[in-house]
Amino acid sequence: MLSFSRLGGITAVFTCLSDQATKWWVLESIMQPPRVIPVTSFFNLVLTWNNGISFGLFNNGSNLNALILSLLAIAIVIFLIMWLRKSETKRVAIGLGLIIGGAIGNIIDRGLHGAVVDFLDFHINSYHWPAFNIADSCITIGAMILVFDSLFSPKPEQARI
């Protein structure tokens, strides 16, 4: 039987590899030259470089962002790995794995490029959500899983009743 921490680790590796593979594909094949590629009436592929955090937050172009945000992300990943090692449910392990893998994917980008590669652009008419990537999506989904688990999983004292 697969332990919860191992399940979370496999999820993190799969998330990071998927993120890096899609970014490589976008950089090497799709965005040569960089352009906007309409896919649907509400979704484009674009190439943007994010110096901030998920979904373009704190994207002020500072040269220190890559270093500071990478160090912060590494500290968070270490904390999340310690939490993962103590996880007691499949849901928590998968949520943590998604966050860890996404964070590592974005750390790799900052190390390789000095910024994170974003390429998914959803919009309604002329209003565009900030471009994002697979790592950002996995971090968001992982956080939603952890919030859901925290709100709706029975607490140990409730389980005995």
Q: Among residues of the chain, what percentage have pLDDT more than 90?
A: 79
Q: Which of 19, 109, 118, 121 is catalytic?
A: 118
Q: What is the pLDDT of residue 59?
A: 60
Give every CB contact of residue 145 below 8 A, 6+ residues apart in sequence. 91, 92, 94, 95, 98
pLDDT in tens, 60-73: 656 677 888 899 99
User: Is 118 one of the catalytic residues?
Assistant: yes
Alpha-carbon gap, residue 62 to 110, rounded angstroms: 13
pLDDT for residue 57 = 59
Number of residues in the chain? 161
Q: Flag whether pLDDT at 39 surpasses 60.
A: yes
Max Cα-Cα span within the chain: 62
Q: Which of 19, 109, 121, 136 is catalytic?
A: 136
Residue 109 bears catalytic tag: no
Q: What mean pLDDT value characterizes the chain?
A: 90
Per-residue pLDDT tens digits for 94-151: 999 999 999 999 999 999 999 999 999 999 999 999 999 999 999 999 999 999 999 9
